[in-house]
Amino acid sequence: MKKRINKNLFLGIFFFILFIAAIVVSETGILGKINTVTVVMANTKIEKDTILSEENVILAEYPRELITDDMYRHISDVVGKTAVQTIQPSAFIDRDYLDQSLLKPTKDHEFFPIPNNWLVKLQGTIRRYDLINISAVYVGTGQDTGAVLQQNVKNEYVLENVPVAYVKGSRNQEVSGLTSQNDRLNGNQNAAQIELSLTLEDFKVLEKLTKEGYQFVLSY
């Protein structure tokens, strides 16, 4: 004769297991982690030009549906990078907020001021941390007779993706957007001097071309 299973006992055990499972899920936050992703956020207000350290950032959960590829997931990915704008507390760290070129002098790259007479024009819309391309335009040399020769642009960039180290006004202060960090139409002052991060060989290439009668156009 088969032993009958007590239906009430079975249901009691079943619901007890569900109750315990619900407590475990609630305490461990498993469901929450399924719907969120860990991202790097600002721990405190981070001022522009701050070199980030571990004290500046924390890891926090962010809704999965709001995650973008430009958000950082690991603190080690942002430590040592420089903020290109002010980052408010609890704001996630986006790639656009940090200098991706790790702009700083090295044994290979130095900051070179570019004489204004090397340039066709120094655009007021260029900002620090921009990556620019340099085109060469033939405008003639001191030995040319008559008016400036018809401008002739080289077919290829002389240099590409050159980091802008500084853009300064006449008072040796950085040029920035007047209304916001992204304001390129209105600067807080007129650009008077630009410094680029170059190797010595790159600088000599530019110097040689100026002696041959070329000036440069900077584009970004």
- Would you kindly state where each structural domain of the chain is located, as residue ranges? 32-97, 110-219
Average pLDDT value for the chain: 81
What confidence score (pLDDT) does residue 150 get? 45
pLDDT, tens only, 98-145: 876 656 556 678 899 999 999 999 988 998 888 899 999 998 765 554
pLDDT, tens only, 22-68: 666 556 555 555 688 899 999 999 988 888 889 999 999 888 888 88
Say which amino acid occupies 80: G
Distance CA 105, CA 100 (A): 14
Give me Rg for the CA atoms of the chain.
Answer: 29
Name the pTM for this structure.
0.58
Determine whether domain 32-97 maps to CATH 3.40.605.10: no
Q: What value does the mean pLDDT take over residues 179-184? A: 73
What confidence score (pLDDT) does residue 82 get? 85
Distance CA 15, CA 56 (A): 47
What confidence score (pLDDT) does residue 193 get? 94
Which of 149, 115, 156, 153 lies closest to 133, judged by CA? 156
CA distances (Å), 113 to each of 7, 102, 117, 160, 178, in order? 86, 19, 12, 17, 24
What confidence score (pLDDT) does residue 28 get? 59
Q: What value does the mean pLDDT take over residues 16-20? A: 69
> Going by C-beta distance under 8 Å and a sequence separation of 6 or more, which residues neighbour residue 168?
174, 175, 191, 192, 193, 194, 195
